[in-house]
Chains A and B, each alone.
Chain A
Amino acid sequence: MTTHAPTSAPRAGSRPAASSGTRRPTSPRPGRKADRGVGERPSAVSTGILLLGAAYCLLPVLWVVVASTKSGGELFSTFTFAPSTHLLDNVGDLNAYRDGLFWRWMLNTAIYAGVGAALSVIVSAMAGYALAKYRFRGKTVVFNLLLAGVLVPGVVLAIPQYLLLAQIGLTNTYWSVLLPSIISPYGIYLARIYAAASVPDEIVEAARTDGASEARTFAAIAVPMMLPGLVTVFLFQFVAIWNNFMLPYIMLGDDKLFPLTVGLSGLLNQGASQPALYTLVITGALLSIIPLVGLFLLLQRFWQVDLAAGGVKA
Chain B
Amino acid sequence: MRLTTGTKVAALLATTALLAAGCSSSDAGDSAGSGDAGDSGDTAAAGPVDLTFWTWAPNMEKVVDLWNAENPDIQVTVNKQDGGDPAVTKLLTAIKAGSGAPDIMQAEYQKIPTLVSSDALADIAGNVGDDVASGFPEGVWNGVTLGSDAVYAVPQDSGPMEFYYRADVFEELGLDVPTTWEEFADAARTVNEADSDMYLGTFSATDAGWFTGLSQQAGASWWGIDGDAWSVDIDSEATKKVADYWGGLVEEGVIDNKPMYTPEWNAALNDGTQIGWLSAVWAPGVLEGNAPDTAGTWEMAAMPQWDASAPATGNWGGSATGVTTQSEHPEQAAEFITWLNTDQEAVNALVKEAGIYPAYTPAQAEALAEPPAFFSNQENFYELAGEIADTAGSFTYGPNVNVAFSAYNDAFGKAAESKSQAEFLDAVDTMQSTTLDDLKNSGFNVSE
User: Which residues does A use to contact B, with CB under 8 Å?
Assistant: 72-73, 75-77, 98, 159, 162-163, 166-167, 169, 171-172, 249-250, 253-255, 265-266, 269-278
- Given the interface pairs A166-B94, A172-B100, the reply to whether A253 lies near B52 with Cβ below 8 Å is yes
Provide 26 A-B residue pairs closer than 8 Å at the C-beta atoms, listed in order of the A residue: A73-B293, A76-B266, A76-B291, A77-B270, A77-B293, A159-B93, A166-B98, A166-B99, A166-B100, A167-B97, A171-B97, A249-B86, A255-B80, A269-B83, A270-B56, A271-B319, A273-B280, A273-B282, A273-B285, A273-B286, A274-B56, A275-B285, A275-B288, A275-B289, A276-B289, A278-B266
Q: Which residues of A contact B317 (CB under 8 A)?
A: 271-273
Least CB distance, A92 to chain B, in whole angstroms: 17
Do residues A166 and B79 form an inter-chain contact, with CB atoms below 8 A?
no
Q: Are the CB atoms of B290 and A275 closer together than 8 Å?
A: yes
Inter-chain contact A77/B271, CB cutoff 8 Å: yes
A162 vs chain B, min Cβ distance (A):
6
Contact status B79-A254, CB under 8 Å? yes
Other A-B pairs beyond A76-B270, A271-B84, A274-B58, 18, CB < 8 Å: A75-B266, A76-B266, A76-B267, A159-B93, A171-B94, A171-B97, A171-B99, A171-B100, A254-B52, A265-B82, A266-B56, A270-B56, A270-B58, A271-B108, A271-B317, A271-B319, A272-B210, A274-B286
CA distance A162 to B98 in the complex (A): 11
Interface flags, B332-372, vs A, CB<8A=1, else 0: 00000000000000000000000110000000000000000
Contacts of A159 in B (CB 8 A): 93
Q: Which residue of A lies closest to B316 (CB)?
A: A272
Interface residues of B (CB under 8 A from A): 52, 54, 56-58, 61, 77, 79-84, 86, 90, 93-94, 96-102, 108, 157, 159, 207, 209-210, 261, 263, 266-267, 269-271, 280, 282, 285-286, 288-293, 316-319, 355-356
Docked pose: A172 CA to B292 CA in angstroms:
37
Q: In the complex, are the beta carbons of A73 and B291 less than 8 A apart? A: yes
Q: Are A253 and B102 in contact (CB under 8 A)?
A: yes
* B79 contacts A163, C-beta separation under 8 Å: no
Q: What is the CA–CA distance of A253 and B99 in the complex, to the nearest angstrom?
A: 11
Say which residue of A76, A253, A271 sits within 8 Å of B83 (CB atoms): A271
Interchain CB contact (< 8 A) of B289 among A98, A163, A254, A274:
A274
The distance from the CB of A118 to the nearest CB of chain B, in whole angstroms, is 22
A253 pairs with B54, CB closer than 8 A = yes
**Closest approach, in angstroms, between the C-beta of B167 and any C-beta of chain A?**
19
For B282, the chain A residues whose CB sits under 8 A away are 273-274
CB nearest to B101 among chain A residues: A253
Interface centre among A253, A276, A277 (most CB of B within 10 A): A253
In whole angstroms, how far apart are the Cα atoms of A185 and B357 in the complex? 51
Name the residue on A nearest B78 (C-beta). Answer: A255
Q: Are A250 and B90 in contact (CB under 8 A)?
A: yes
B80–A98 contact, CB under 8 A?
yes
Residues of B within 8 A of A253 (CB): 52, 54, 79, 81, 90, 94, 100-102
Contacts of B266 in A (CB 8 A): 75-76, 278
Chain B nearest CB, measured from A58 CB (Å) = 21
- In the bound complex, CA of A255 to CA of B83 (Å): 13
Quick check: B286 and A77 within 8 Å, CB to CB?
Answer: no
Q: Are A274 and B93 in contact (CB under 8 A)?
A: no
Minimal Cβ-Cβ distance residue in B for A172: B100
Cβ of A72 and Cβ of B270 under 8 Å apart?
A: no
| Chain B residues with CB below 8 A from A255, complex form | 79-81
Q: How far is the CB of A264 from the nearest CB of chain B, in Å?
A: 11
Closest to A72 in B: B292
In the assembled complex, which residues on chain B have CB atoms less than 8 Å from the CB atom of A172?
A: 100
List residues of chain B with CB within 8 A of the CB of A77. 267, 270-271, 293
Q: Give complex CA distance A98, B192 in Å.
A: 43
Question: Does B97 lie within 8 Å of A272, measured CB to CB?
Answer: no
Contact of B98 with A167 in the complex, beta carbons under 8 Å: yes
- By beta carbon, the residue of chain A nearest B83 is A271
Q: Which A residues are in CB contact (< 8 Å) with B285?
A: 273-275
Q: Which residues of A sit under 8 angstroms from B289, Cβ to Cβ?
A: 72, 274-277
- B421 to chain A minimum Cβ distance, whole angstroms, is 26
Residues from chain A with a CB closer than 8 A to the CB of B108 are 271
Which residues of A sit under 8 angstroms from B319, Cβ to Cβ? 271
Contact pick for B97, options A72, A76, A162, A270, CB 8 Å: A162
Query: Quick check: B288 and A162 within 8 Å, CB to CB?
Result: no
The 7 A-B pairs with the shortest beta carbon distances in the complex, nearest first, are: A275-B289, A271-B83, A166-B97, A273-B282, A269-B82, A76-B267, A77-B270
The CA-CA distance from A73 to B317 in the complex, in Å, is 25
Q: CA separation between A270 and B55, bound complex, in Å? A: 10
Q: Which residue of B lies closest to A268 (CB)?
A: B82
A270 and B52 contact, Cβ closer than 8 Å, known pairs A76-B267, A166-B100, A250-B90 = no
Give, as a whole number of angstroms, the nearest-CB distance from A270 to chain B: 5
A287 to B260, CA, bound (A): 28
Distance in angstroms between the alpha carbons of A269 and B86 in the assembled complex: 9
Q: How far is the CA of A163 from the CA of B108 in the complex (A)?
A: 26
Q: A266-B82, A273-B286 are in contact. Are A163 and B56 (CB under 8 A)?
A: no
Beta-carbon contact of B292 and A73 below 8 Å: yes
Q: Which residues of A contact B100 (CB under 8 A)?
A: 162, 166, 171-172, 253
Question: Which residue of A73, A249, A272, A278 is within 8 Å of B270 (Cβ)?
Answer: A73
**Measured between C-beta atoms, what is the minimum distance from B226 to chain A in Å?**
31
Task: Give Cα distance in the complex from A196 to B103, angstroms.
Answer: 53
Which residues of the partner chain A approach B86 to less than 8 Å between Cβ atoms? 249, 269
Instruction: Tell me the smallest distance from the CB of B12 to a CB of chain A, in Å.
Output: 20
